Amino acid sequence: MYAFDVETPSSVAEAVAALKDEEATALGGGQTLIPTLKQRLAAPEKLVSLSGIAEMKGISTDGGVLTIGGATIHADVAAQGDYPALAALAGNIGDPAVRNRGTIGGSLANNDPSACYPAAVLGTGATIVTNTREIAADDYFQGMFTTALEEGEIITAVKFPIPEAASYQKFDQPASRFALVGVFVAKTADGVRVAVTGASEEGVFRWSEAETALNKEFRSDALMDLNINAMNMIGDLHGTKEYRAHLVKVMTRRAINAIG
């Protein structure tokens, strides 16, 4: 680890001000950034910790919308009862140490192509709230490790319209236990949404053919004739492109069956 300074602002405004410094980097729960620093793969001069900002923490439900503060840890999301599919997803991220440090805002800002939260956000059609604006999930994810966030922009909250029913089915990568493939299926007011993480070189994506088929008929058999193109899938030590494409279908079917 290289030497760096740490600031611990207590409000979003202070954090925004601190991040105006070009050499500053925001620190959420640190589950990706700290290992990166330990390996000397990043050298920020200043870390601005978001974990001391009270207004970015906590979970509330109002008018069918679950709002989660950007600095809320996974364990707290796992403990809420208003959106069970999201709670189950959060409760299966990493291990207890990760779930008690890692934050939803940190995960979404990082947008790891194998992370679980992006599938929930895209699959629910959630809204990312930042210090300057609100960004629809469909506009937010822009490819692996890439998002719509501007330099210095902070995710202060995420708003999930609670769907009629939802399920996240994750197939673990055996070593990291990130998603080798994870599929989030939600029946929302605007129709069925299917979001896939872990599988694509492009990061999280919506499987629109499946959505179309499921909007006609919400049964796993509706996917029978669909096939997902393996070309853009990730192929690595843990699974070929074809295997991931296959798993997308299996996990989608399982999510549909879990919803019933």
Partner 1 sequence: MPADGGIGASTKRREDVRFLTGNGNYTDDINANGQAYVYFLRSEMAHAKINSIDTSDAEKMDGVIRIFTGEDFVEVGGVPCGWEVTDRFGNAMQEPRHPILAHGKARHVGDPICAVVAETLEQARDAAEAIELDLEELPAVIDMKSALAEDSPKVHDELESNLCYDWGFVEENRDAVDEAIKNAHHVTTLELRNNRLIANPMEPRVAIGMFDRTTDEHTLYTTSQNPHVIRLLMGAFVLGIPEHKLRVISPDVGGGFGTKIFHYAEEAFCTFAAKAVNRPVKWTCSRSEAFVSDAHGRDHVTKIELAMDEDGNFLAVRTDTHANMGAYLSTFAPSVPTWLHGTLMAGNYKTPLIYVNVKAVFTNTVPVDAYRGAGRPEASFQLERVIDKAAYEIGKDPIELRRQNFITEFPYATPVAVEYDTGDYNATMDKMIEIADLAGFEKRAAESADNGKLRGLGVNCYIEACGIAPSNLVGQLGARAGLYESATVRVNATGSISVMTGSHSHGQGHETAFPQVIAEMIGIDPSQVDIVHGDTSKVPMGMGTYGSRSLAVGGSAMVRATEKIINKAKKIAAHLMEASEGDIELKDGQFTVAGTDKSVAWGDVTLAAYVPHNYPLEDLEPGLEETAFYDPANFTYPSGAYACEVEVDPETGKVTIERFSAADDFGNIVNPMIVDGQVHGGIGQGIGQALLEQAVYDEDGQLISGSYMDYAMPRADDVPFYTVDHSCQTPCTHNPLGVKGCGEAGAIGSPPAVVNAVVDALRRAGQDITHIDMPLTPSRVWQAMQS
Q: Which residues bind partner 1 (CB under 8 A)?
A: 1, 3, 39-40, 171, 174-176, 180, 237-240, 243, 246-247, 250
The nearer residue to partner 1, 9 or 94, going by C-beta atoms, is: 94
The nearer residue to partner 1, 52 or 235, going by C-beta atoms, is: 235
- Phi/psi at 142 (5° precision): -125, 35
Q: What is the closest distance, in whole angstroms, from the C-beta atom of residue 253 to partner 1 in the complex? A: 8
The nearer residue to partner 1, 1 or 189, going by C-beta atoms, is: 1
The nearer residue to partner 1, 162 or 180, going by C-beta atoms, is: 180
Strands 205-206 and 191-197: antiparallel
Query: How far is Cα 20 from Cα 4, in angstroms, rounded to an integer?
Result: 16
| Whether the Cβ atoms of residue 140 and residue 128 lie closer than 8 Å to each other | yes
- DSSP for 108-165, written as a single string: HHHT-TT-SHHHHHHHHT-EEEESS-EEEHHHHB-STT-BSPPTT--EEEEEEEPPSE
The nearer residue to partner 1, 112 or 153, going by C-beta atoms, is: 112
The nearer residue to partner 1, 159 or 246, going by C-beta atoms, is: 246
3-state secondary structure of 191: strand
The nearer residue to partner 1, 32 or 51, going by C-beta atoms, is: 32
Q: What is the closest distance, in whole angstroms, from the C-beta atom of residue 89 to partner 1 in the complex? A: 18
* Residue that the structure tokens 């934050």 belong to: 103
Length of the chain: 260
What is the layout of strands, in order, in the sheet containing 134-136? 59-62, 65-69, 155-161, 127-130, 134-136
What does the buried/exposed string (b/e) look like for 82-114 if buried means 16 or more CB atoms within 10 Å of the residue's CB?
A: ebebbbbbbebbbeeeebebbbbbbbbbbbbbb
3-state secondary structure of 230: coil
